[in-house]
Amino acid sequence: MSVILVTGGTGLVGKAIQHVIETELEGSRFGKKPGETWVFASSKEGDLRDAEQARKLFEKYKPTHVIHLAALVGGLFANMKYKLTFYRDNTLINDNVLYTSHITGVKKLISCLSTCVYPDKVEYPLDETKIHLGLPHESNFGYAHAKRMVDVANHAYKDQFGSNFTSAIPTNIFGPHDNYDLESAHVIPALVHKCYLAKKNGTPFIIGGTGKPLRQFIYSRDLAKLFIWQLREYDDVEPLILSVGEDEEVSIKQVADAIVKALDFKGEYAFDPSRADGQFRKPASNKKLLSLIGDFEFTPFEQALDESVKWFLENYDAARTGKKNVV
């Protein structure tokens, strides 16, 4: 009888895992296994910055396995503005989840890092061996350092107690249930929301920065399957990049063009170079993943974007669209 606790289970990635577990055939590679109980926890069930609340959440569900997604998450502009809050909140959340997993005897724990943890100046492509080879980009060093310490702690727990704690390193993620709050959103949900408002109000669609930076984007529902696979079939302390291939890098301008097409926007569209571009690129290799998982079909970018825009339009009133300040 396994109990899988997904912390941060109500966010973009948590909702995608719930979708896959509830829609894939039971017993299939990415489906629920007989006898498994999946729990998708929100911050309302326990603020994981607080050790006592973390203990109570684990006591309530008694998880045997944990996918740890809970975090203070935000796009470039939020990370630049709240470096200490991103550092401290995520440090507290991660330390409480790892320690509580240890003292309650969790058999396996997967934590979630991000390709922004990597050094800004390192030989590309990024792979699993380069996490600690230099300082991260200054725009997100608070969040990046807090996330890097999870890898350090996993190795320490393994070394001292033999704990089966590991981590995943996704690239930028998008999909249904994303955060569309223009203050704290990542680029795809921010531009989908901005383009929607520009079309609705007949105003220009403004993209921040120069549009030149390059990014790899993984669809949340593909990432969800990779997390389920990692839970079942990957038992190594070393982090694993979960990403589309390096050749899937796209520019922010290409992303904006795809969003204009997906929303059938016909109005004025311009760039605001007074806003930061952030890191120019962070190309990650998924060679190790593909060498372990064999064939995996990623959803084509335009199809994934269309599905995400459709979800946004159908759920606008319920979606995270606004004015919820980060702090």
Number of other residues whose CB lies within 10 A of the CB of residue 74: 22
Nearest to 143, CA basis, from 85, 213, 67 = 85
Q: Considering the rule CB under 6 A, would residue 284 count as an interface residue with ligand NAP?
A: no
Residue 208: name its binding partner from ligand NAP, ligand GFB, none (Cβ under 5 to 8 Å by kind).
Answer: ligand GFB
Instruction: Work out whether 209 is an interface residue with ligand GFB (CB under 6 A).
Output: yes
Closer by beta carbon to ligand GFB, 15 or else 108: 15
Strands (E), the chain: 2-7, 36-40, 65-68, 108-112, 165-170, 172-174, 205-208, 214-215, 217-219, 240-242, 250-251, 269-272
Q: Which of 65, 36, 315 is nearest to 176 (CA)?
A: 315
Tell me if 315 contacts ligand NAP by CB under 6 A. no
Angle, CA 41 vertex, CA 37 and CA 44 arms, to 5° = 145
Nearer to ligand NAP, 114 or 286 (CB): 114
User: Shortest Cβ contact with ligand NAP: which residue?
Assistant: 11
CB 63 within 8 A of CB 3: yes
Nearest to 38 by CA among 227, 167, 277, 314: 227
Exactly one of 82, 87, 143, 219 is catalytic; which is it? 143
Is position 140 an interface residue for ligand GFB (rule: CB under 6 A)?
Answer: yes
Is 234 considered catalytic here? no
- Binder of ligand NAP out of 4, 11, 118, 164 (CB under 6 A): 11
Q: Which stretch binds ligand GFB (CB under 6 A): 123-131, 137-145, 235-243, 284-292?
A: 137-145
Residues that bind ligand GFB in the complex, under the rule CB under 6 A:
75-77, 79, 114, 116, 139-140, 143, 172, 185-187, 190-191, 207-209, 213, 215, 252, 275-279
Active site residues: 143
